[in-house]
Amino acid sequence: MNDRVIAKLVDVSKYYGSGEGRVTALSSINLTLLRGDCVVLVGLSGSGKSTLLHLLGCIDKQDEGQIIIDGIDTSLKSLEQLAFLRLEKIGFVFQSFNLIPVLTAYENIELPLLFKGYKKNSIKERVDDVLEEFGLHERKHHYPRQMSGGQQQRVAIARALVTQPSLILADEPTANLDSQTGAGILDLLIDLNMKKNITIVLSSHDSVVLDKIKTVVHIRDGRIVHTNISTC
Amino acid sequence: MNSLKLAGIAVRNLLRNSRRTLITVLVSSAGFAALAIVAGYMDFTFFGLQEMTICRGFTSSGGTGHIQIFRKEALQKEEHYPLEYGIADSEKLQQAVKLNKSVIATMPRIEFNGLISNGEKSISFLGTGVDPKKETELIHYWNALEKLSSRKLMDDSVYKKLETTSSNGVLLGEGMAKAMNAHVGSSLMLMGTTVDGAVNAVDVTVAGVVRSSMKSIDRYYLVTSLETAQSLMQTGKVSKIVVVLDKTSNTDIVRPLVFAKINASGNNPEFSVIAWDQLAEYYHSIRDAYRIIFSFIGIIVVVIVFLSTTNTMLMATMERVREIGTMKAIGISNLWISFLFLYEGFFIGLMSICGGMALKIIFSSIINNSGFKMPPPPGMSSSYLLKIFFAADFLPWISLLILFSTTCSGLLTLFKIRKLSIVNSLTHV
């Protein structure tokens, strides 16, 4: 397999329900993502964008087909192995930030590192670097409830980035933010993609996103109806 | 993963819903306190029973003392005639035993039986011949027990009366005195078998009427002096020597020393030295009954604590579905997330132990100062003041039980967490 390929979906299908009530969420998806790609998944609600992100992030399992992340066939892995794969290679950014409310910004960011078995000093160094990079140093001891939406989303991105993943998946990261803050977050993700060569896949309805990211995968009724491969 | 860090997160999660945590801790604390108070009561009862067995006994033979010395054959064979295996030179034996510093008294006793008659009516008796002066040592030992401050002090005047009654004094149980229509000063006759198998009789005078510890033996209870018993049985032997120590806890240390002292070295010891607890069937049956009761109470309390904590844990899991989903999504394994809940259960347990100890101390103090009198236990004749001991031996076990119960309640969340779909958790509201 080409070293540049970070994720490959081959004839992937996903269904919900069974019998006559079975709904096809994704149907025979074929998609290859390269290192450094910055891709936006677009489509109407219920088109299958989130399902595709979940399958790429190994937090859900396909019913048919094969998903390969960084050379690893995920269909052959156990739940614990998939958890380890996510910890090692994938970062998540959620629409509602999903920070742990009892942890400060610093502690939220360090959380994945603690489970990766990093030494205390190394964790501190990394977290401080990321806080500095994202302009969150002043907020490091603040709890999520003490921060604005934009700040919370920056912390969430910092948490996704701190493990140095190969792939960051962001599910409508700007949907809960005002347009100005949303644009800032988007710029931050694009900047990460450009400077660190991290593959970023995000889903969005936001026209601003479509203006800034040129690699677009259009999904309709669980099928990819149009893609244009280019560098963003 | 730094376990301390995980523990810290667990504590913060508990504080997040402090009211619910407080209620759970209160339920578990009440469970701990209930068990600790029952254990304290049991400890008090066991100690009281132990000392009662030693000082007064629950048979017609009186208090067991801490140690009893018999001729070896007396415990192994049936006697063909009274005192066939009695101790002949009891004075010498007592002198040898008294060399041990923990021994505060040695008391020779004769156990005998026969008929007592008032001239019109004869009934059987179970008698004990004692040295009245030495027997008072057991009373002094009882009266000096500091730990049993609530006990009824024993009166040694009856033994003095036995000593001062000029002609063959006897002490009768209340039931026997009533049956014989006897009172202090009444003349009665004892009939029994001598060591040669002949029938003998002696005239006795009632020196006192006593209440034995058990109602059931009151009708057969008779105590007389060693001389009277020996004169009835026409012997100089005694059945056994009762040894009183400075404290009960020394029994296991002193017993082998006494055994070695009175038996010449060799494979065929002449005397058996028996500790009080081997002679106390009543004590053991009460103790076993209490242990069964305590075990049942323990199981009920642990189940209540477990259910209460499990409810809290499951509520916490349901409230934190999205958080759990997020943690799973970023790659934290089910096992680590479950550890978080186990820690929470563990801390609830720790807080419950502290709270329970406080409750136990408060309630024990109230009970101990209330002067509450317990009715006489089944078969016994006197009531007693309720006391709750500290029960230091039981507390570590109760703590472990509560801790185990609260921590295990976190285990149930493990199944819940494992079943939670990440995708559904992330959209959970």
pLDDT tens sequence across B310-331 = 888 888 888 899 999 999 999 9
Smallest CA–CA distance from B427 into chain A, residue: A96
pLDDT tier, A117 (very low <50, low <70, confident <90, very high otherwise): confident
Sheet holding A167-171, edge to edge: A90-93, A167-171, A199-203, A38-42, A215-220, A223-228
Domain that holds residue B333: 3-50+284-426
Please tell me whether residues B315 and B242 are part of one structural domain. Answer: no
Residues of B with Cβ-Cβ distance to A80 under 8 angstroms: 333-335
Taking CA–CA distances from A114, the nearest residue in chain B reads B1
Q: Which of B224, B246, B278 is the last residue of a domain?
A: B278
Average pLDDT, chain B: 88
Query: What's the pLDDT at A223?
Result: 93
Task: Check whether residue B79 and residue B205 sit in a common domain.
Answer: yes
Query: Is residue B238 domain-shared with residue B311, that is, in the same domain?
Result: no
Question: Contact, B310 vs B412, CB < 8 A?
Answer: yes
Kindly state whether residues B336 and B239 are assigned to the same domain.
no
Given B1, B329, B421, which is nearest A115 (Cβ)?
Answer: B1
What is the structure's pLDDT at B381?
61
Domain count, chain B: 2
Residue B409 is inside which H or E element, if any? Answer: helix B395-419
Q: How confident is the model at residue B266 (pLDDT cuts 50, 70, 90)?
A: low
> What's the CA gap between B348 and B321, in Å, rounded?
21
pTM: 0.79
Residues B32 and B77 in one domain: no
Cα distance between residue B255 and residue B259, in whole Å:
6
Q: What does residue B91 show for φ and ψ, rounded to 5 degrees?
A: -60, -45
Interatomic CA distance for residues A68 and A8, integer angstroms: 5
d(CA B166, CA B151): 33
**To 10 degrees, the CA torsion angle through B87, B90, B93, B94?**
140
Query: CA-nearest residue of chain A to B17?
Result: A102
Please state the rounded mean pLDDT for residues A79-96: 93
**Count of C-beta atoms within a 10 Å radius of residue A74:** 18
B193 near B227, Cβ under 8 Å?
Answer: no
Provide the terminal-to-terminal Cα distance of chain B, rounded to the nearest Å.
29
pLDDT (mean) for B169-194: 92
The residue of chain B nearest to residue A90, with distances taken between CA atoms, is: B330
- Asked if the model's pLDDT at residue B122 lies above 60, the reply is yes
List, for residues A176-232, the tens digit of each pLDDT value.
889 888 999 999 999 999 999 999 999 988 888 888 898 999 999 999 988 775 333
One domain, residues B84 and B223: yes
Range of lowest pLDDT (A92-106, A189-203, B107-121, B367-381): B367-381
Q: What is the pLDDT of residues A36-61, one digit of tens each?
A: 999 999 999 889 999 999 999 999 99
Contact state of A80 with B2 under an 8 Å Cβ cutoff: no
Q: Is the pLDDT of residue A123 over 70?
A: yes
Report how many helices (DSSP H) and strands (DSSP E) chain A contains, helices first. Answer: 7, 10
CB A167 within 8 A of CB A72: no
pLDDT (0 to 100) of residue A231 = 32
Cβ-contact A32, A8 below 8 angstroms: yes
Q: Are residues B213 and B333 in the same domain?
A: no
Using an 8 Å CB-CB cutoff, list chain A residues near B421.
Answer: 60
Residue A112 φ/ψ, nearest 5 degrees? -65, -30
Please tell me the distance from the alpha carbon of residue A40 to that of residue A58, in angstroms, as a whole number: 18
Q: Contacts of residue A92 in chain B, CB cutoff 8 Å?
A: 326, 329-330
Residues B370 and B250 both lie in one domain: no
Tokens representing residue B183 in the block: 């009172």
d(CA A151, CA A94): 13
What percent of chain B shows pLDDT beyond 70?
A: 95
B32 and B76 share a domain? no
Q: pLDDT tens for residues B59-70?
A: 767 789 999 999
Asked which of B278, B300, B333 is the last residue of a domain, the reply is B278
Per-residue pLDDT at B97 exceeds 80: yes
Write out pLDDT tens, residues B38-78.
999 988 888 888 988 898 877 767 789 999 999 999 888 88
Q: Is A84 within 8 Å of B2 when comparing Cβ atoms? A: no
Regarding whether B175 and B271 lie in a shared domain, the answer is yes
What is the pLDDT at residue A226?
80
If asked whether residues B12 and B70 sit together in one domain, one would say no
Q: List residues of B whose CB lies inside 8 A of any A CB.
A: 1-2, 5, 9, 12-13, 16, 322-323, 325-336, 421-423, 426
CA A147 to chain centre: 22
Residue A134 has pLDDT above 50, yes or no: yes
| Among B278, B306, B338, residue at a domain's last position | B278
Cα(B264)–Cα(B127) distance, integer angstroms: 32
Indicate whether B317 and B269 sit together in one domain: no
Q: In this predicted model, which residue has the larger pLDDT, B277 or B60?
A: B277
Closest-CA residue of A relative to B334 is: A80
Give, in degrees to the nearest 5, the angle at Cα B226 between B220 and B232: 70
pLDDT of residue B230: 93
Give the bridge partners for B188, in sequence order.
Answer: B204
Contact A60 B332 (CB under 8 A): no
pLDDT of B380 higher than 70: no
| Residue B290: both structure tokens together | 């209490």
CB contacts of B5 in chain A (<8 Å) are 114
Q: How many CB atoms lie within 10 A of CB A28?
A: 15
Report the gap between the CA of B424 and the closest CA in chain A (Å): 10
